[in-house]
Amino acid sequence: ISGEAQELFSVRHGPVRAARILPAPQISPQKCDNFSEKRPLLGVCKSIGSSGTSPPYCCVDLYSLRTGEMVKSIQFKTPIYDLHCNKRILVVVLQEKIAAFDSCTFTKKFFVTSCYPCPGPNMNPIALGSRWLAYAENKLIRCHQSRGGACGDNIQSYTATVISAAKTIKTGLTMVGKVVTQLTGTLPSGATEEEILVHSNTRRSPLVPGIITVIDTETVGEGQVIVSEDSDSSGIVAHFPAHEKPICCMAFNPSGMLLVTTDTLGHDFHVFQVLTHPWSSSQSAVHHLYTLHRGETEAKVQDISFSHDCRWVVVSTLRGTSHVFPINPYGGQPCVRTHMSPRVVNRMSRFQKSAGLEEIEQELTSKQGGRCSPVPGLSSSPSGSPLHGKLNNQDTYNNFTNNNPGNPRLLPLPSLTVVVPLAQIKQPMTLGTITKRTGKTKPAPQISPSKSVGGEFCVAAVFGSSRSWFANNPGLKREKDQSKQFVVESLYIISCYGTLVEHVLEPRPLSAAPKISDDTPLEMVSCPRASWTLVRTPQWNELQPPFNANHPLLLAADAVQYYQYLLAG
């Protein structure tokens, strides 16, 4: 890898809403890949489908990047908003609906029709991990509700108080208009998109915002997935409230155990740890580990990305700002000990274990007793505990297990940690491009912020190994430049104008701290290190398949398929 950007595929077929390169499917002796000779495959949702007669954005065309032919076309009656895929399924996201197809045969596997609508930018937000699928449910079903869920943040500042007071005044002034709306069935001018969605669904059924359902794509049955009081919990991993407002965006971490969710306000982002139970979703536990506090003003979230070690989360809004947060996969306050090492450290340090501090803390907790004991069964009066009513409202199958304090699915749940961003990276409207030989920058064309639709600035971010060593030191070998082991991977941010920027993140102990120790808080320095202009010019030729056998896409696909065949035996 030289650090240069090489164009591998390009085609001009009009507006495209979604496009994904499908990963090689997971095969086994009982499951064969019907399209193995055609892979890699590209799924595209275009304004004009292959048939030419379907409505705009109502079909998914699958093209072979090896031969260039279209191998499959999946038609829908309503517009498609997004595509997601993993080694098991291809998920097509529609408004208030989800359709999943087998990755080997592309036959319909299951579908969901109970999604809660969102005003945007993600009309129907979902998160697809290596096996689990999370989506916004339109109702909370008590018999399937998991233990835990969202906790109160309790971080309202002076600014938030002023904004809340202003909203209260606005609510009082518009109360007459809402009464008229209820009586006449019409909406006043200037109503928000969220009010329109709620109003349009009021007459059908009372929908509940902020509810998330997680299903197992392997064990869920074929056909429609129904979460109701009359249905069993087969395939349902978790079902819990995540926010008070509608869900706007969500994402799984690489391991699939952590789920980050955001609502339409964009003030706070929640990090949940999902602990499953083999019996039912009501026995599963959802630990609210973190509240990532962005700010008091409203913002729409468009992208969420994890680092590979799951210690960093970057959340990008439509304002073009990417917020970098530190977290731990197991929870707790981020500090020097947890984030100044290139590797993930254990929950407890060697000193804490050898000194027995964990056992002392557990003993102090168990000796609290009294009427406010957080541990079930330790209160002098069971009905006097504040958790008694909450426990009675949850349906349980094995009450005798409540006496096991070591079970992570039982109360007390881990404490919530509030984290603020260590870096807020704003994408500039004008970026210089770094030449591949001199490393010098040359000016890029001026871009006005007003050209963004509605003042929105679309970006996407991902963590990865550094590529800036070539741009900054073209004559330096990679081995010498990369002898230094970075604590954090580089952050790559691409804008809607085709500019990719590599940002180097350097966490360090808080400079204002009087003494540096393992528990010292963190601060971060971020700086752009290199940029690549990826936008195409009209003079460039298209790069369409069929490709040569030594094409990077074909070489990578062949290597992955060969490795999977070895694993399958």
Show the 3-state SS of 87-142. Answer: CCEEEEEECCEEEEEECCCCCEEEEECCECCCCCCCCCCEEECCCEEEEEECCCCH
- pLDDT tens-digit series, residues 101-152: 999 999 999 999 999 989 889 999 999 999 999 999 999 999 999 999 998 7
Q: Is the dihedral of CA 198, 78, 235, 414 positive or negative?
A: negative
Residue 298 has pLDDT above 90, yes or no: yes
**Based on the domain organization, do 185 and 154 belong to the same domain?**
yes
**Based on the domain organization, do 143 and 255 belong to the same domain?**
yes
Where does a domain end: 389, 420, 451? 420
Residue 560 has pLDDT above 50, yes or no: yes
Rg (alpha carbons) of the chain, rounded to whole number: 26
pLDDT confidence band for 177 (50 / 70 / 90): low
**Based on the domain organization, do 76 and 24 belong to the same domain?**
yes
**Based on the domain organization, do 106 and 120 belong to the same domain?**
no
**In the 8-state DSSP scheme, what is residue 393?**
H
Identify whether 338 is part of a domain: no
Structurally, the chain folds into a number of domains equal to: 3
Where does a domain end: 79, 111, 143? 111
Describe the chain by its helix, strand, coil percentages, rounded to 5.
Answer: 20, 30, 50
Report pLDDT for 61: 95
pLDDT confidence band for 204 (50 / 70 / 90): low
CATH of the domain at 48: 2.40.10.480
Going from the C-alpha of 409 to that of each of 227, 358, 389, 399, the distances in angstroms are 22, 19, 18, 13
**Based on the domain organization, do 194 and 239 belong to the same domain?**
yes
Identify whether 127 is part of a domain: yes
Token representation of residue 367: 């000796």
Identify whether 368 is part of a domain: no
Q: Between 381 and 353, name the one with better pLDDT.
A: 353
Identify whether 440 is part of a domain: yes
Identify whether 320 is part of a domain: no
pLDDT > 90: percent of the chain: 59
**Based on the domain organization, do 82 and 161 belong to the same domain?**
no
Residue 240 has pLDDT above 90, yes or no: yes
Identify whether 428 is part of a domain: yes
Mean pLDDT along residues 466-480: 62
**Based on the domain organization, do 89 and 128 belong to the same domain?**
no
d(CA 71, CA 74): 10
pLDDT confidence band for 385 (50 / 70 / 90): very low
Identify whether 157 is part of a domain: yes
Mean pLDDT along residues 521-541: 91
**Based on the domain organization, do 154 and 43 belong to the same domain?**
no
pLDDT mean across residues, the chain = 80
Within 8 A by CB and 6+ apart from 369, the residues are: 378, 379, 380
Mean pLDDT along residues 507-528: 96
Residue 480 has pLDDT above 90, yes or no: no
Where does a domain end: 68, 92, 111? 111
Report pLDDT for 371: 37
**Based on the domain organization, do 66 and 130 belong to the same domain?**
no
pLDDT > 70: percent of the chain: 71
Identify whether 372 is part of a domain: no
**Based on the domain organization, do 156 and 251 belong to the same domain?**
yes
Residue 74 has pLDDT above 60, yes or no: yes
Domain interval for residue 521? 423-533
Helix, strand or coil for residue 363? Answer: helix
**Based on the domain organization, do 294 and 266 belong to the same domain?**
yes
**Based on the domain organization, do 103 and 120 belong to the same domain?**
no
- What is the distance, to the nearest Å, from the Cα of residue 116 to the centroid of all Cα atoms in its chain? 17
Report pLDDT for 53: 72
Within 8 A by CB and 6+ apart from 118, the residues are: 124, 125, 136, 197, 246, 247, 248, 264
Nearest to 237 by CA among 111, 333, 132: 132
pLDDT confidence band for 367 (50 / 70 / 90): low
pLDDT confidence band for 454 (50 / 70 / 90): low
